Chain A
Amino acid sequence: MKKTNLLLFLLLAVSCGNIFAQDKSKVDWDAAYERLLEADQGVRKKIESGQATKEEVINWLKNQKGDSAKKLAQKKPAANKGKAEDLSAFKNKLAELVKAGKLSREDAAKLAATMETKGAVKAEVKKEDNVDWDAAYEKLLANPAARQKIKSSGATKEEVIDYLKSQAAAKGGTDNKRGVGRGKSGARPGSFQFYSLVIGRLKSKDIELGELELDIDYVISSRPKLNADLIGTRVKLVGVSGKYLDSLLPIKRGETIKVRTGDFNPETRVLGFGFKFHVLERTEPFKPGDFGVPPEEFRGFSGELSGKIVEAVGYEVLLQVKQSNPSDDSQAKDAASIVGKRIRIAGFYNQHSEAFADLSEGDEIRVSVTHRDTKSDAIDVTDKLETVE
């Protein structure tokens, strides 16, 4: 199966569960993913450390033969389906596929409509009755005194629930409305995951609230369209905390900074500080070569590169390339064009995580890479990573 078709198939499977094969039509993989994170600390740690992505975990779940994955998936309905941020992210993906010629405009519109309909129905149902009266009944039973009272009165479960409903109505609603901690995370609603490295000039900062504004010079991420959209604009970045407030403190207005992001809100155009890779620092004014933007003729490269490490942080390496050896399937027009320049190579987790931990500035390495998406500036490490003595 071609890569394009596979991607489309996965998208269809995730978004339109009912057209997915077998009994997986009832499976909500997002919910399964969330439950797995709850149940398995190991998986959670991998996700948090960047050793695995949500997509990888979901794919793994789908490939499980046993019942456990299905159980995990079917245990409770997805809490976040139909949410605006998911829809927005999904639409962005569709737009990218259309632009890349991998999906027709009509099909994309149909998929988007399907998602919107499902979300609307779900929201409507939720609006009608958002109280789990069975759970409320069970909770009441957890109180020994209440349980004794119910037992001695001989009331049925239905009668008790009717009573609870009347009490809630009398109070003008249930306690749920006053509760805290509801929802998946409550964090920056409307944002979607956006791991990127942003370079820009500081326009303003608030070292107490952990916010700053910057004029973006360059963005490195796996979303070339969004990168292009952000470059040249002024955006707000929020969520800086702890010791990174100290990093922000001495940086002056007009100075160039380099910062990792973790999410982006397309409506408000606000970036969220990346809690994962911990980068917020003053840097030299932006010059494409310094940050590893690949030359046009190098795009599509596959093969081996060797050179000296300029920077190794956040599972990424900025390499000053000394040698370029393209493989047979390389599509670069001029594989040697990178020699003497810098290239940013991402993806040093999973099997490379231990070796990556030992890398530092000045080390010489030989690494196999591939530039899958030629529109993206991100180039990925594949299977080989060795230090050159």
Chain B
Amino acid sequence: MIPTEGKVYDMKHLIILLLLLAASVRADDVVPMTIRPASERFAERDTQGVPDFQRHVVPLLGKLGCNSAKCHGSFQGQGEFRLSLFGFDFQSDHAALQADAYSEEGGRLHVGDPANSLIVLKPTEQTDHEGGLRFEENSWEHHLLLRWIESGAKGAIDSGGPITNHFDNESSTFFKESIRPILQDHCFECHGFNSRKGNLSLASREALLAGGDSGPVVVPDKPGESLLATAVEYSNDELQMPPSGKLSDEKIAALKKWIEMGAPWPDGYEAAPKAPAQVLVGLHHEPNEILFNETKHKQQIRIIAEWEDGTREDVTCLTRYQTNDDAIVRVSPNGVATSTGTGDTHIIAFYDNGVSAIPVLRSVEPTRGNPTRERGIKTDDSGRDTIPRLRVGLLQASDHPIDRFVSAKLDKLGIAPSELCTDAEFLRRVSIDMTGTLPTPEEVLAFISDRTAEKRTRKIDELLERPSYAAWWTNKLCDFTGCNPKSISSLLEVAREDGYVKASQWYDWIYERVERNESYDSIVEGIMLADLSGGSSGMPHFWTRQSLEEPKDTAMSVAHAFLGIQLQCAECHKHPFDRWTQADFNDFSRFFDSVTKTKSRSTTDEDLDLRLLRNGLVTLQPGDDPRQPIMDWMQDPKNPWFARAFVNRVWAGYFNRGIVDPPDQFTPANPPSHPQLLDWLANGFVENNYDMKWLHRQIASSDTYQRSWKPNESNRNDRRNFSRAIPRRIPAEVVYDGMKQATAATDQQDTVRTNLRRRASGHLSMRMAGTHAMKVFGKPDRSINCDCERVNEPTLLQAIFTQNDPLVRMRIADSVWIIEIEDAEAAGMRIDNADLVQKVWLRTVGRTPNEEEQQRAMKHLESANSVAQGIADLMWAMLNTKEFLLNH
């Protein structure tokens, strides 16, 4: 009997009630049962389960390392056995396993005798295996493969319906025995599976008949009209295939005979990759987040795969794992995470086409941190993140949304942020980050003496109105978009003059728009949809670069420049850290066929159905500009990368580290350190009509940006959570411009800061690329799709440069300011040494010298041959300090 609210029900009533409740639950509401892990289901040999090729066999081969680049995933394969790199080309992998290739030990698969199949004999080292022991005999892995073989060793279920080619047995046999080997040996490398050089695929009869750029290659029954026959006969100088050498007469005759027979191609012999029918829709992990307290503490991770058909399976044992920072956590092949240090990072899980990032966090000081708090992030009714509330006491509260997001995580990590930086530090830092320019001595003194509360905010607003702001961020936009004089009109070592002319047009075009604060999406639109003839108000040079030789180059450039994603891995194989497959890459590349090949026309001349990076299918007709749907998609506020990529790059410009870092590697395996902050910034950026100044203002006015570089006990090792400023070397252009400004005449201070024709962050940005100064300090050539091209690391060469380079010597020797001092000395004028010393400091490091520095400097001036010489020495010394070369 169960008492409830004063009433008494017997068991019979209770059962009826339960049945009634159960009946009211809709089928949709039922959480599907999770299938037990393969390691349990195949633990015993006599299991009746049937492994699936896509769900179990390929992931297992991946986990065992069989399809890695070092083993059978290499392009040459190993031991005449080649698998697709990182899997996901199920047709070719299955074909490779089924192939009749034998080693001395026998065949790879024996359906009737699974134990003697090489794919179990080799990894269990029952026979020689260069890759060594991959699993034990009688292990679950062993049983799984045995069960798969004995149950028929079936391949992946593909999504396409059966191809109904009806050919008689004779012609089918002829194809299998005589034609397919020729295609495999001589054609498929360029025109099979995922390769389609010249837009020609020989992967299926349909593709063969459709032809490529040169038209249909086979006209059934008519070898005389078939380009294939012409090509293999080498009768046309312009069309000779295969390029490696003419085929034997027998093979040529066989191909011609095959065409005469009507080009028979029996079912099941397609070499075209097909999308698998089984689609992974989610890869979930348990726990949602791992919170450690001590070193060596362990946590088992559980990975659940969710398929489109609703089934869920525990795939922990079939998943590959990696840690993003093994100084914080290590992870075993079985998914056991072990704490190794304090801080936060992610463990990345890979299964099928899914990537899952599991946050791992260990507080610096468990007693101070608050790891049990739900990250301080709340969600409102619409599911959007709201700005977190801080615990009182641990951190100084700030109303700035950025500070609240950052502080919430610091709170959780038990990290106290550094104090705010000094006014002088702030002014120098923000001037460099926002305008690429050092503040003038007068500006520093005025700012320090200003006692008003809002002076930092006012300075930010003032800087945003300066031409140097537009110049510096134009320079950055030129970096991201690849404005390189050499690549524009010539691929020679030294650019042609018209390359500089066009690069300058490119720079000016962006500059004008940044200066009038045109919205970021509108600037990108001007580039993306530019009329290639130059007949619009857009910027066509992005598309007409000689370095974009093939559509794939353009695809990679667009993805990098505007989406912050790197596609290049997927050119040859499934992306190891992302969901991109070769098919995704090929489709995206085809958007740029016409624009890249003609460099004069952006419209397509054929009907095309192309998938847009797994964001829908785009149907194009002849005459359509394929760039338009891409631009439309990018301007969609829901676009997962467009706004985020830019917001993140701007953030990285202020902190020397992106929220996603590296900033151009938006992949599931490289998750943001502060996902809610990134979302907030990106949403705000879109809501504010992609207003770049809004973005700069938000970032620069936060306490997070204005923190001191001086660490405290808790944040000394933190370089990821923005608890303090990380000193970083000033960029190459700023080094050059800064030295020039530091040595300029007093009345030239404004000119050297505003004359863009003579600033390394202005027009010299192009002409000076490749000079020793720019190379030493890591200015990017803008020749590759990688933000890493700009190097901010300090090197020995930089120290040698600042000490001895003719440029530095020239700057000091020709310094009009020092010549002014020289002239004053010669004229017998009274010179205030203390004032000059102060000016050296203000000109170089943006602050006044402290007492000790002042005394040492004065002493040196007294011992120098002349005041001018002494000041030249001081200037040289200050240009060689870390403080000058660092933004701190």
Contacts and interface: CB of A to CB of B under 8 A. Distances in A.
Contacts of B536: 175, 179
B683 interface: no
A194 B810 CA distance: 33
A108 B768 CA distance: 45
B733 interface: no
A187 B498 contact: yes
Nearest to A239: B497
B625 A142 contact: yes
Contacts of B603: 138, 142
Contact of B758 (A48, A208, A246, A273): A208
A185 interface: yes
Nearest to A206: B758
A330 interface: no
B641 interface: no
Contacts of A154: none
Candidate in B757, B767, B769 with the most chain A CB atoms within 10 angstroms: B767
B370 interface: no
A242 B498 contact: no
A144 B494 CA distance: 41
B630 interface: no
Contact of A275 (B495, B766, B806): B495
Contacts of B498: 185-187
Nearest to A178: B537
Contacts of B537: 175, 178-179
A185 B502 CA distance: 8
Contacts of B485: 241
A187 B496 contact: yes
B170 interface: no
A255 to B, nearest CB: 14
Contact of A209 (B505, B544, B757): B757
Interface string A170-202: 000011101111100111100000000000000
Contacts of B375: none
B512 to A, nearest CB: 11
Contacts of A339: none
Contact of B770 (A38, A136, A243): A243
B715 interface: no
A72 to B, nearest CB: 14
B628 A210 contact: no
Contacts of B625: 142-143
Interface in B505-541: 505, 509, 531, 533-541
Interface in A14-56: 38, 41, 48
A179 B489 contact: no
Given A210-B767, A245-B771, A147 B623 contact: yes
Interface in A335-370: none
Interface residues of B, number: 51
A242 B544 contact: no
Contact of A241 (B495, B505, B538, B806): B495
A243 B495 CA distance: 11
Given A139-B531, A142-B603, A188 B497 contact: yes
Candidate in A147, A179, A250 with the most chain B CB atoms within 10 angstroms: A179
Nearest to A174: B535
Nearest to A244: B494
Interface string B172-216: 000000000000000000000000000000000000000000000
Contacts of B766: 241
A181 B541 contact: yes
Contacts of A186: 498, 501-502, 505
B591 to A, nearest CB: 14
B140 to A, nearest CB: 54
A1 interface: no
A250 B770 contact: no
A230 interface: no
B623 A185 contact: no
B445 interface: no
B767 A179 contact: no
A146 B539 CA distance: 22
Contact of B489 (A185, A208, A210): A185
A104 B497 CA distance: 37
B500 interface: yes
B752 to A, nearest CB: 11
B64 interface: no
A272 interface: yes
Contacts of A182: 533-535
Nearest to B602: A142
A100 interface: no
Contacts of B509: 180
A163 to B, nearest CB: 17
B535 A242 contact: no
B790 interface: no
Contacts of A241: 485, 494-495, 500, 766-768, 770
Contacts of A175: 531, 535-537
Nearest to B619: A144
Interface in B532-559: 533-541, 544, 549
Contacts of B502: 181, 186
Contacts of A263: 497
B599 interface: yes
Candidate in B489, B534, B769 with the most chain A CB atoms within 10 angstroms: B534
Contact of B534 (A48, A135, A180): A180
A185 B501 contact: yes
Contacts of A272: 497
A243 B498 CA distance: 18
A132 B806 CA distance: 53
Given A180-B539, A181-B534, A208 B764 contact: yes
A186 to B, nearest CB: 4
Contacts of A278: 493-494
A136 B540 CA distance: 16
A10 interface: no
Contacts of B492: 48, 275-276
A249 interface: yes
A135 B494 contact: no
B490 interface: yes
Given A139-B531, A141-B623, A143-B625, A187 B501 contact: yes
Interface in A245-268: 245-246, 249-250, 262-263
Given A181-B541, A181-B544, A275 B624 contact: no
Contact of B623 (A142, A174, A246, A276): A142
A179 B534 contact: yes
Contact of B806 (A38, A135, A250): A250
Given A179-B534, A181-B541, A41 B495 contact: no
Contacts of B758: 208-209
B772 interface: yes
A270 to B, nearest CB: 11
B149 to A, nearest CB: 50
Interface string B760-787: 0000101111111100000000000000
Candidate in A138, A179, A242 with the most chain B CB atoms within 10 angstroms: A242
B807 interface: yes
Contacts of A245: 767-768, 771
A128 B497 CA distance: 31
Given A41-B549, A139-B531, A143-B625, 6 more contacts: A176-B535, A179-B533, A179-B535, A179-B538, A241-B768, A243-B772
Interface of A: 38, 41, 48, 135-136, 138-139, 141-144, 147, 174-176, 178-182, 185-188, 208-210, 239, 241-246, 249-250, 262-263, 272-273, 275-276, 278
The 9 lowest CB-CB distance pairs between A and B, nearest first, are A242-B770, A187-B498, A181-B534, A185-B498, A142-B625, A187-B497, A179-B534, A186-B501, A182-B534
Interface of B: 485, 489-498, 500-502, 505, 509, 531, 533-541, 544, 549, 599-600, 602-603, 621, 623-625, 628, 757-758, 764, 766-773, 806-807, 810
8 contacts: A143-B625, A143-B628, A180-B534, A181-B541, A187-B496, A187-B498, A242-B769, A245-B771
